[in-house]
Structure 1
Amino acid sequence: MLQSRASNLLQRCSKVVTNAGLKEANKIGSIALQSKAGYATLLDTLGDAYQRVKFKVYRDPRHHLDYDKWCKIFVTEGNIGVGKTAFAEEFAKKLDLKFYGNVSTNYDVERDSSKQVTAPKMMEWYTNPKSVLQMSRNLCNDHFCQEPADYVHTCRYQNNKLVMRALQYCDALAYLLWYGRGVTMVRQFYSDDVFAHAIKEMGWMDKRFWDFYILHRDYLDEDLIPPQVVLYLDASPEQCYENVQAGNNEAEKKLPLDFYKRVEDAYRTSYIPEAEERGVNVVELDWNNPRPVMEVIEELDNLPNMLSPTNLWDIDNSQLKRVMRNAMDDCYRCSRYIYCPIEELWSQQWTQLLYETERDNWDSKYPKGYCVGEGDKWIPLKPEHPHNFLRRF
């Protein structure tokens, strides 16, 4: 209907050209073109509104992925002490993206506690060194930095990092596809083997654990998609070592310079080539002299397309929804963990059972509004009942 009205105006304009002067023709022609532009703008607005409703109702992941240039997973990579966290935080703030910092050994507890009613009380107990969880894990980043040659702790620490990064990356992937909003991360699941490779080259890990680590990583990688863009902050190992020595983290100062060089080699010879083969757009930034974040954003904005020609995101919408469901399903993700054949890394069975018992009997284990222990009522009539509640992220 709108197009027919616009064509009628153009026909009137052509009649004026033959029956009236050139000045009047130009005047009416300009009116017709303005009307046509207004109709086109109205059509675009209605189309955008329709796409937004379609995304909210049907959760169509392709909408934002195709029409929003910044609806992507941006991962900041680089050596220790290069300034990844500060860069990623400012990058996320400038573009209004979801920020995921460097994962900790207790990411799963932090994630679960953020959804509970009594989150501070829960976190205080689970992060207490005397709690069953901490005694069973027995992991510490400072201990790794000060005594990396402790084989049992180093291997347990690296395996925990792999699992926590897989969990965090699934959360970021699900957030991107569910809410249609871009994500910024500091390192991620696919770059965890950089440190595992450096640890192996330093002699802090033997071949038994390396083989198990690679098998576990490949098993966790099923039904995931690598990030679209990786921002690699390239700085010399000597510069990164000096940055750490000038900082306030006394434990990281104990790491030798040779470890920084091994990390740099792992990035250059292993991670970056493999990422580019898998369709990741790796943007290398010279960070020996750091630049303003806005300058980097403008460079990315000037790119015709931030996606690699061989990216793995050009898949069917049903496949994207399948990836989203698997990333959101905690039960599915927990089933991806495999048996560890290395006896030194085993945990006591009674500690795991006690931890699971405490977690299942927690009074406020459900989100606010669905917890019977907190006096919430009319739960079966709410849209998301806790018994079939799909945990958000």
Structure 2
Amino acid sequence: MALSVVRKGVISLTGRAGRSLVAPAAVIQPQIATIVSKALRGRDYKRPAPFPYKDNSYGLFQAFLDKTTHRMDENSKIIVVDGPIAAGKTKFAQELAEELDMHYIPQANMDMVYINSYGYDLRQLDPLVPDTCKSFDEKDFLGNPNHRRVAGFQFDMLKLRLNQYLDALGHLLSTGQGVVMERSVYSDLVFAETLAHFGYLSKKALNLYYECRKMTVPLLMRPHLVVYLDVPVDVTLKKIQARGLPHETNSSVLSAEFLSHMEMKYKQQFLKEMKNHAEILVYDWSEEGDTEVVVEDIERINFEFGKNDPKMADWKLKDEWEWCEKRMQYTKYRSHFMMWLVVPDFSVEEMVIPAADHKIYTDALLEAPGERYEVGFNSDMGDQFILTKVKKDLAV
């Protein structure tokens, strides 16, 4: 696989015999072979009413009444924006989602773990709990990459990215609206491999990581398009310094060697694997590029591939019922995916919390605002629900 500049600011990936990875390809209906911008759709375009998948369960009964493919159009696709740290992914992904009238999903971060539904930051419990149970986020890793909680941190990020990708699939299949997301569960391996290479993640933890990944990720429908914002390591270091976040600029982790290894994993593992299943666009983003130019490039892609071509194979479902089954799998039964990441493996010592420590943590957690009961049942947080008293009585 090689990288070749096709015009200023744009790079094309090519494989054997110089075949462009953004060359035309084919998918059967209801997956339409193109993506169009909001401007080309015109003001009269109106998407069918969405199914409220976040509030209502989509099971067998609902599947008979509410089919899936009638909501899907040319933009019912998943686009992943990826690239090195400080590349400008957030701004670009937001602009791309706006231009294509797609749903935007931000990059996963540990605030999603520690800030609960009521806005309370569980990291405030750290003084009350043992070291084995204290919070550990991005800032902690960059400050202390040899901490025993690094493995737990990496698994938390895998869980978040898996959860986000299930959200993306559930949203697309329930509303018909396409999704643009920053990073994904597929590129999470870049971080795991890099942490392991520098000794921050043990071999046992890495083996467990791949075991969990093997039981979950292959069951997902891979993205249609990956847009990779390519930034050389020396420029990345300058961008990190320019944005001036103390936990990044003062970290010994974000060295040229660390970032170079990440870049190598991105290009030789992640992109190499994804090119077999999705379209790839790679842009030189050393200086901020033009989102409109990227949109024009995307509009030129033909997402149609032959019946036996592995590209887009995940989206070549044989009938309406198979689409409905996928929708149930990614919404109602999504917990079946997540359970693989919560089953403890006692062979990975750094991920095991002693029972006594866990009891202290649980007791402290139950006293935190909004943590005693499920969301909607905490009257002390202002929840108003007819079953609140019953829920409390049953819980005692």
Q: TM-score, normalised by structure 1?
A: 0.70
List aligned pairs for 1:208-227, cutoff 5 A.
Answer: 208-227=204-223
Please give the secondary structure, in 2, of the residue aligned with 1:81.
Answer: coil
Tell me by how many angstroms 1:293 deviates: 0.6
Task: Tell me which residue corresponds to 2:260.
Answer: 261
**Conserved? CA contact 1:126–1:133, under 8 Å:** no
Q: 1:206: which partner in 2?
A: 202
1:365 to 2:369 alignment: no
Q: Say if 1:281 and 1:307, in contact at 8 Å, map to a contact too.
A: no
* Conserved? CA contact 2:114–2:121, under 8 Å: no
> Residue 96 of structure 1 corresponds to which residue in structure 2?
101
> Following the alignment from structure 2 to structure 1, what is the Cα–Cα distance between the partners of residues 331 and 169?
9
Q: 1: distance between equivalents of 2:257 and 2:176?
A: 42
Q: 1:293 to 1:367 in 2, by over 3 A?
A: farther
Unaligned runs of 5+ in 2: 1-44, 53-61, 392-396
Q: Which of 242, 249, 252 is matched with 2:238 structurally?
A: 242
Q: Could you say if the C-alpha distance between residues 162 and 364 of structure 1 is closer, same or farther in structure 2, counting changes exceeding 3 Å? A: closer
Question: Once the two structures are superposed, what CA deviation does each residue of 1:361-387 show, in whole Å capped at 9, x if it has no partner?
Answer: 43753699xx9x8444599xxxxxx9x
Distance 1:322 1:77 in 2: 29
Partner of 2:170: 174
For residue 172 of structure 1, report the CA deviation from its aligned partner. Answer: 1.5
Q: CA deviation at 1:292?
A: 1.1
CA contact 1:126–1:134 (8 Å) conserved in 2:
no
1:315–1:70 CA distance, 2 compared to 1 (3 A): same
Cα distance 1:242–1:99, how it changes in 2: closer, same or farther (>3 A)?
same
- Counterparts in 2 of 1:375 and 1:241: CA distance versus 1, 3 Å: closer
Match of 1:193 in 2: 189
1:76, 1:88 within 8 Å by CA — same for their partners in 2?
Answer: yes
Give the drift of 1:248.
1.9
**Can you list the C-alpha shifts for 1:253-291, whole angstroms capped at 9, x where unaligned?**
2211111101100011111111122x1212112222332
Between structures 1 and 2, the one with greater helix share: 1
In structure 2, do the counterparts of structure 1 residues 210 and 97 end up closer, same or farther at CA, with 3 Å as the change threshold?
same
Larger radius of gyration: 1
Tell me the distance in 2 between the aligned counterparts of 1:174 and 1:131: 38
- Whole-Å Cα distance in 1 between the matches of residues 385 and 337 of structure 2? 29
- The equivalent residue for 2:155 is 159
Give the residue type in structure 1 aligned to 2:256: L
Partners of 1:247 and 1:141 in 2: CA distance? 16
Residue 304 of structure 1 is matched in structure 2 by 302
Q: Which amino acid aligns with 1:335?
A: M
1:73 shift after superposition: 1.2
Contact 2:126 2:134 (C-alpha < 8 Å) held by counterparts:
no
SS in 2 for 1:139: coil
Amino acid at match of 1:362: Y
Once the two structures are superposed, residues 200-255 of structure 1 have per-residue CA deviations (whole angstroms, 9 ceiling, x without a partner) of: 22232231111111111112225321111110111211111111111121212221
Using the size of structure 2 for normalisation, the TM-score is 0.70
State how 1:10-29 maps to structure 2 within 5 Å.
none
How big is the shift at 1:187?
0.4
- What's the secondary structure of 2:75's corresponding residue? coil
Q: Residues 166 and 330 of structure 2 are in contact (CA less than 8 Å); yes or no, is this contact kept in structure 1? A: yes
Question: Which structure ranks higher in relative contact order (CA pairs < 8 Å, sequence separation ≥ 6)?
Answer: 2
Q: 2:291 is matched with which residue?
A: 293
Deviations 1:107-152 (A, max 9, x none): 2565x72xxxxx3xxx22535344879973521211211222x141
CA contact (8 A) 1:82 1:233 kept: yes
CA distance in structure 1 between the partners assigned to 2:49 and 2:170 by the alignment? 19
Deviations 1:333-375 (A, max 9, x none): 442223222122223432564478566743753699xx9x844
**Percent identity over paired residues:** 22
Map of 1:320 onto structure 2? 323
Does residue 60 of structure 1 match 2:62? Answer: no
Q: 1:335 aligns with which of 315, 334, 339?
A: 339
Q: 1:185 to 1:375 in 2, by over 3 A?
A: closer
